Amino acid sequence: MMPNELEAYRRSAATELGEISYLDVGEGPTALFVHGVFTNALFWRNVLADTAARRRCIAIDLPAHGQTATTESWDLSLGGLAQALVALCDAIDPGRVDLVANDTGGAVAQIFAATNPQRLRSVTLTNCDTQGNIPPPDFAPVVHLARQGGLAEVVKGLASDLSLARSDAGFGSGYERPEDLPDEVLRAYLAPLAASDLRARELERSVAQLEPGPLLAIEPQLKELETPTLLVWGTGDPFFDLSWARWLRDTIPGVTEIVEIEGAKLFFPDERAADLVPHLLRHWDATAAPA
């Protein structure tokens, strides 16, 4: 599914934090999808296409990403981003949700899950930040650049040069076949981030706050999380190798299994959605509750 096809499903919620943009696709019990840094709700485009017949799929544009524009008054720490999930749920009243997350969105999801277990029916985490690996070493230079005030201009450069955006300096390190990534998808990710100097600086402010503290703070609660949790992990990811899935398994008592996706990289939920969806549906069926 291409980004332009999903725009018909875009909604905006007035929350206590401000306007939060999201996609609302399908019917049934609600699944809440959380993306990572530099992408947005459209990252889940191919997963939504294959799950909307079974779930009301809510895919958030996290603050400072996609169509959720922010100002300096927004808390863009990991804890603040988790609070945005709370605010969105309060605004749209989805009931208990099947939480699905990737990349930095996985860290946000862990905070949300640990502090709001009553809102959950199930959790699925794909390759993502964990306590002890945030930011991962290969991404630490990007965080350092953000803290030095240099990331905003880099993002503008990526948005204006899609060949650069497709390289390892952009999204190439997260895709197995970045040459197959459509220009429309890259533009959907990057154009909102580079739409203005304020947008680029707000993204920079968010990335600059990636640090271990928020995950360390919720680790005791994570160790008590009994919610059924599935880990689906790409084995070819240089940022989050399989040892971090095992860390999550050993930390969260609700983990049911680790599913390994051979050779898959960080952004496999977009690139290889067909390898994720059957496990997702099986997990949801195992934890099904009346709508």
Whether the full predicted model's pTM is greater than 0.95, yes or no, is: yes
| Residue 148 is assigned to a structural domain of this protein | no
| Residue 181 is assigned to a structural domain of this protein | no
**Summary mean pLDDT of the chain:** 97
| Residue 180 is assigned to a structural domain of this protein | no
| Residue 172 is assigned to a structural domain of this protein | no
The string of pLDDT tens digits covering residues 253-290 is 999 999 999 999 999 999 999 999 999 999 999 997 54
| Residue 142 is assigned to a structural domain of this protein | no
**Distance from C-alpha of 253 to C-alpha of 267, rounded to nearest angstrom:** 26
pLDDT of residue 19: 98
pLDDT of residue 171: 97
For the chain, list the strands marked E by DSSP. 10-14, 19-25, 30-34, 56-60, 97-103, 120-128, 229-234, 255-261
pLDDT of residue 1: 84
Domains of the chain: total: 1
The string of pLDDT tens digits covering residues 49-75 is 999 999 999 999 999 999 999 999 999
| Residue 226 is assigned to a structural domain of this protein | yes
Q: What domain range is 22 assigned to?
A: 3-133+212-286
**Distance from C-alpha of 250 to C-alpha of 108, rounded to nearest angstrom:** 19
